[in-house]
Every structure is written in structure tokens, then in C-alpha cells.
Structure 1
Amino acid sequence: MEINTDTSWPQALKDPSDRRAGKPRSSGMTMVIDKGLGALAFADLLAASGDSIDFVKFGFGTSTLYPMPVLRDKIALAQKHGIAVFPGGTLLEAAVRLDVERDFWNVVLELGFDGVEISDGTIELSRRKRDNLIREATQRGLRAFTEYGKKTPGSRIVLDDLRRTIDADCACGAELVTVEARESGVGVGLYDEKGSCREDELRLLQQAVPEANRLMWEAPQKDQQVALLTILGPEANLGNIAPQEVMSLEAMRRGLRSDTFSLHRVVSHYMI
């Protein structure tokens, strides 16, 4: 039996919002956290969901645990799908603490990573040191992604501090500032001890930081993603998305899931 390879869903069903941009995107970006996917699982993820993924972060210090051929292959495959790849910020924090920064930069470049995440979620970085790390990354031709917030349970967002951090990081060359929520999304930053989004706080942040393209919100839980997309609009940048949740998030962005069925009607300065 002959197979019709031209079969396609109507465009209205593929994207009821009629707003979803293809890659490369400057908003509505999705960052996946990879905590140890094997080569075959990673290839399957990209084959099915690659068009919906903008970044892959190899979580915390997992980059050092892969066999080098596996790590190289994963980086190259992601880049083939138009996906930027970087190691987790905890790895650079460890390099700073252990005084092996030069070796860190050399290996990152030799492996072909697109960028690095610069954070101080576990250690303390002076403003000067943070600036220098961002500049070091950009001078080496790497994309600099920074992170705001601590990993300590109970840590909260301080509005003025976030505003200053965004301005200072971007002035040094940072491309995106990610708001910390850990991979659990519980009891840190925007989320309470049950993982619920502090929506009133989010609305205040929305007013204070209108430059949506400069922020990425870690949102590992589905209800968090719904809250962010509903309040900020489908073009909010979301990170720490589990590999198996990529399609679900993309469906929500397009209004293809009951939680956000009317999402395309949301009017927000976060939308293009």
C-alpha cells in the first residue's frame, strides 16, 4: 500500500494561537534540563521534540560524568537540531571554588558547548567576580546565560535586587537571566513550599521587569508552567523543563491543552 507522505494537519489545528514562531526564536523559548539521558534517549527526544527546544542544559555537574564520546555526540546532535547546549551553573561554581577555572573554560570550548551558565546559587560571588565571568565567557565566544537566586530552601525573589542583577548582567554581555527554582520547583524563588506559583508576586515582577526577552523562568512543574503562560503570555521563556514534558509545554503554548485552551486570546506585553 502506498503511503501518502504529504499528509499534514491543518495549520489551524497545529497552532490555534497563530503566533508560535519557528527557530531561531527570541521569545517563547524552552530550555530542557538533561539530568543524564543516554545517547539513544537523547536522540529520540530531539527527533520528536527538537523543533520545540531552544536550549539544553546538562544539569548541575553531570557534564563531567559522561564518557567523552557520548558527551560530544550529544552536543553535536543538539546543534544539528538548532539547539544551544551548555553545562549547568553548578559546574562553573565548582570550578571557581576549586580554582580550576582556566581548565573549565578550555574543556568547554574544546567540547564545542555553545555557552555557559553563570550562577551563584550555591557559592557566593562578588559583583566584580560575576561581571568578570560573564565577560570571560563572551570574550571566548561563548553565549553567557546567568541565573538569579539561591538554591537554599525558602529563598525568595527580591524585586530591586533582581532588577539590578538583570541590568548589570546584560550590561556585561549576558543574553538571558534565569530566575532560580531548582529542578524541583518547590520552596524557592517564585514558588512556595507546595510548588504553587506566587501569582501576585509574579504580576508585580511583570510590571517591574517588562523586558520579557531578558528573562527565563525555571518552571519544572506543569501548574507552574500554566500560571506563567496565563499571566505572562505564551511567549514567556521557560526553563528546567523535563524532557518528557516538552510536547506538553508546546501544546500549552499553542492553546492545544485544556489548561490554556484560550491562551491565544491573552493580551500581554510579553507577546510579540
Structure 2
Amino acid sequence: MDIKTGLAWPCALEDPTDRRSGKPRQSGLTMVIDKGLGPSAFEDLLLTAGEYIDLLKFGFGTSPLYPLDLLRSKIALAKRHRVATFPGGTLLEAAYRLEVVAPYLDMAADLGFDGVEVSDGTIELSRRRRDELITEATQRGLRVFTEYGKKQAGSRIVTDDLRRTVELDLARGAELVTVEARESGIDVGLFDENGRCREEELQLLRRSLPEPDCLLWEAPQKEQQVSLLRILGTRVNLGNISPGDVLSLETLRRGLRSDTFALHPLVSDYMI
């Protein structure tokens, strides 16, 4: 509602699904990937769509490339909009390879990042070392978001391996396990070489995996988002969303776009 005029859209039009909750959300999370937004664009993003962003990842290893004052200001601005921030998992993988994990985690905490991503998309991590990294981060007060899957083209999801990873990561202290799809969403994990969702595989995963609210699916393309919403429902956590696609995704979640109009609870002829 506009406080000055008292004008407001009909409540039913704001969320026809009547399923979206406000912040802080426990499910239906949206994670945005920031690949280098400048301060004005970053502020514009948060002013326009901050209410619909739960997590923001400073992609890849971009964090050390910012002037520190600018990086701190972006993190602080995100906090004011109740958006949790963390560096991309590739940065931790580089820190691991270069044997500077402790200083990396100290710096992330000092800068004000809410969390870090623990992944092995490019490197190899033993289960023991993965556990240690999760523990080292949580001991510094950082939230931990882990990632499952490899970045190489053609890599696939192994259901039993994903289930075990989820169980062990959560038991160690991770909050979310992200299913790898890269920023392209092509020929990795759940998506084929054309970026299409392997929907039969997703249906099998839906029936097999525990703790669905603790999974976050990287899904940078609209049709991928539609498939995940249609099969897993509006509570699905989605990641690697482009800054320009936040409002578009929110319309998909709320049944305010033709692709997910069937999610509208009153459209009984099209209920999924």
C-alpha cells in the first residue's frame, strides 16, 4: 500500500497462489548471483527487488577483485535489505589449493559476509576435509552453504551420492546443499546439453531425497525454473538467478505469469 495515497493492489493479485511468505523465509528461497554489479546497479537491484532476494552470492572468485571499501558497502547494503551474502565456492576452492583457508575464512567474517560456500566443483575434497571446512567456517560464526556436483560438462547427479552428501553436510552444520548447474545451466547436473530439465530424473529425485527445504537448485534459465516449480512446487529453493530476472522469477512463483498460471489455486481445471 502507498502510505500517502492509501492505494493498493487487490491482495489476491499480489499472490494468486496464496503460498508466498515474507522474510525471513524458510523455503522458497531465491539466491542471486552477482558477477560484478557496480554500486549504483547493486543499490537499484535491492531497491527494486530486495524483498524477493534471500541470498546473494558474489560469484566465482570476484570478491578479492573489489576495492575493500566497495565490497564492505555492498555487503552492508545487502544486510539492510535482509539479504544474506557469501562469496562463491570457487574462492574457497582456490584458498584450499593455495593453503590459505584459515585467512580466507577470517577475511570473509571480518568483511561481514553472512556465510561461505563449501564446494568441490573443480577440486577434489575428501569427506573428512569437507567436514573440517564446514566446521572451520561455522566456528567463525559463518553460515555454510555447501554444493553438490562437478562443473565439467556432462557431469550428472548420482541419487545415492547426493542423498548421502545432504545427510552428512546437514549433520555437520550446513544450512543448504546447492545442486550444481553453473551460471549457464547447460549440460551439468539436472540439465541436458540444451539446458532442458531432465524431468523424469527430477521426479525420481523428488521421491528419493530427504529434507527438500534444505536443497537449493541452481536454475539460471526460465524454463528450468518453470520445470522445478511445476514439479517441486512454490517452496523450491532456486539459485544462480540473474539480477535482471528476480522479479520475473517471483511472478513465476506467484502464478503471475502464464508459464505457472496453473499454480493458481482457483484454476481447478489446471491444477498440478
Q: TM-score, normalised by structure 2?
A: 0.95
Q: Alpha-carbon deviations, 1:110-154, whole Å to 9, x = none? A: 101000000000000000000000011111111000000000000
* Alignment-derived partner of residue 37 in structure 1: 37
SS in 2 for 1:261: helix
* Alignment-derived partner of residue 55 in structure 1: 55
* Alignment-derived partner of residue 209 in structure 2: 209
Provide the C-alpha distance between the structure 2 equivalents of 1:89 and 1:5, rounded to a whole number of angstroms. 46
Could you tell me which runs of 5 or more consecutive residues in structure 2 were left unpaired when the two chains were aligned: 267-272
Provide the C-alpha distance between the structure 1 equivalents of 2:264 and 2:149, rounded to a whole number of angstroms. 31
Aligned length, in residue pairs? 264
Provide the C-alpha distance between the structure 1 equivalents of 2:6 and 2:42, rounded to a whole number of angstroms. 27
* Alignment-derived partner of residue 235 in structure 1: 235
Q: Alpha-carbon deviations, 1:85-126, whole Å to 9, x = none? A: 000000000000001112101110110100000000000000
Identity among equivalent positions (%) equals: 68
SS in 1 for 2:31: strand
* Alignment-derived partner of residue 270 in structure 2: none
Residue 6 of structure 1 and its aligned partner are, at CA, apart by 2.0
Counterpart residue type for residue 118 of structure 2: I
SS in 2 for 1:32: strand
Could you tell me which runs of 5 or more consecutive residues in structure 1 were left unpaired when the two chains were aligned: 267-272
Question: Is the contact made by 1:234 and 1:264 (CA closer than 8 Å) also made in structure 2?
Answer: no
SS in 1 for 2:18: coil
Question: Is the contact made by 1:30 and 1:238 (CA closer than 8 Å) also made in structure 2?
Answer: yes
* Alignment-derived partner of residue 145 in structure 1: 145
* Alignment-derived partner of residue 154 in structure 2: 154
Structure 1 residue 258 corresponds to structure 2 residue 261: no
Provide the C-alpha distance between the structure 2 equivalents of 1:124 and 1:243, rounded to a whole number of angstroms. 30
Question: Is the contact made by 2:163 and 2:210 (CA closer than 8 Å) also made in structure 1?
Answer: no
Alignment of 1:126-145 (within 5 A): 126-145=126-145
* Alignment-derived partner of residue 177 in structure 2: 177
* Alignment-derived partner of residue 104 in structure 2: 104
* Alignment-derived partner of residue 18 in structure 2: 18
Structure 1 residue 245 corresponds to structure 2 residue 245: yes
SS in 2 for 1:240: strand
Q: Alpha-carbon deviations, 1:233-269, whole Å to 9, x = none? A: 0110000000000000000000000000121449xxx
Provide the C-alpha distance between the structure 2 equivalents of 1:4 and 1:23, rounded to a whole number of angstroms. 24
SS in 2 for 1:165: helix
Counterpart residue type for residue 193 of structure 1: E
Provide the C-alpha distance between the structure 2 equivalents of 1:110 and 1:240, rounded to a whole number of angstroms. 25
Counterpart residue type for residue 120 of structure 1: D
Residue 79 of structure 1 and its aligned partner are, at CA, apart by 0.6
Provide the C-alpha distance between the structure 1 equivalents of 2:105 and 2:205, rounded to a whole number of angstroms. 34
* Alignment-derived partner of residue 269 in structure 1: none
* Alignment-derived partner of residue 117 in structure 1: 117
Q: TM-score, normalised by structure 1?
A: 0.95
